[in-house]
């Protein structure tokens, strides 16, 4: 009996189109952003009203968006999506398990888990910046978390010393 040769499963995804707010030399406009897959990678393509296209890919949606922004940043083009916010960052788990579809909005010094939002959800243009701006903000947030932990640890140590003194 003849059996077909086993093939690895193929995941077909339909490209998704998003109309996003963009800031460029032409002002604020709505531009189409298309997400699709190339194998396991994400492929993002954005088209300006005059027909120019830019594309980039990455292993998850957040990294693909950052790659696209690295192309657009020198052109002065800013994308009004949450993943382009200066205070947005995708954790390793969000990238690995959720394919970078959501990001944290990091608030310096804030305790607990940051708010999560859709990577391609709309964001005010006043909140977005370059990839370099985002990297600097993430570093500030990391420092604020370390500082908060150091202060909390010192406070706990001081409290422990006071308790021992009363015993």
Predicted confidence (pLDDT) per residue in 17-59, tens digit: 999 999 999 999 999 999 999 999 999 999 999 999 999 999 9
Question: Which are the contacts of 69, defined by CB distance < 8 A and separation ≥ 6?
Answer: 79, 84, 130, 131
- Look at residue 121 and tell me if it is in a domain: yes
Task: Scan for tokens 């308790």, then name that residue.
Answer: 163
> Residue 33 and residue 153: Cα distance in Å, rounded?
46
Residue-wise pLDDT for 77-136, tens only, equals: 999 999 999 999 999 899 999 999 999 999 887 777 889 999 999 999 999 999 999 999
Query: Is position 143 within any domain?
Result: yes
CA count, 13 A, side-chain hemisphere, 88: 29
Specify the pTM: 0.80
Q: What range defines the domain where residue 135 resides?
A: 16-166
* pLDDT at residue 114, as a whole number: 83
Asked, for residue 5, whether it belongs to a domain, the answer is: no
Evaluate whether 119 touches 81 at the Cβ level (below 8 Å): yes
Q: How many domains does the chain have?
A: 1
């Amino acid at each position: 009996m003849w059996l077909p040769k086993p093939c690895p499963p193929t995941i077909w995804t339909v490209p998704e189109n998003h109309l996003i707010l963009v800031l460029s030399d032409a002002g604020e406009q709505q531009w189409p952003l298309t997400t699709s897959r190339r194998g396991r990678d994400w492929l993002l393509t954005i088209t300006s009203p005059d027909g120019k296209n830019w594309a980039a890919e990455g292993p998850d949606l957040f990294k693909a968006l950052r790659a696209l922004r690295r192309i657009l940043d020198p052109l002065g083009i800013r994308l009004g999506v949450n993943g382009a916010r200066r205070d947005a960052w995708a954790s390793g788990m969000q990238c690995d398990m959720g394919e970078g579809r959501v990001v944290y909005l990091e608030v310096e010094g804030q305790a607990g888990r940051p708010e999560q939002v859709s990577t391609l959800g709309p964001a005010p243009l006043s909140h977005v910046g370059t990839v370099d701006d985002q990297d600097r903000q993430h570093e500030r947030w990391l420092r604020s978390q370390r500082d908060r932990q150091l202060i909390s640890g010192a406070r706990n140590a001081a409290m422990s010393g006071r308790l021992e003194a009363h015993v």
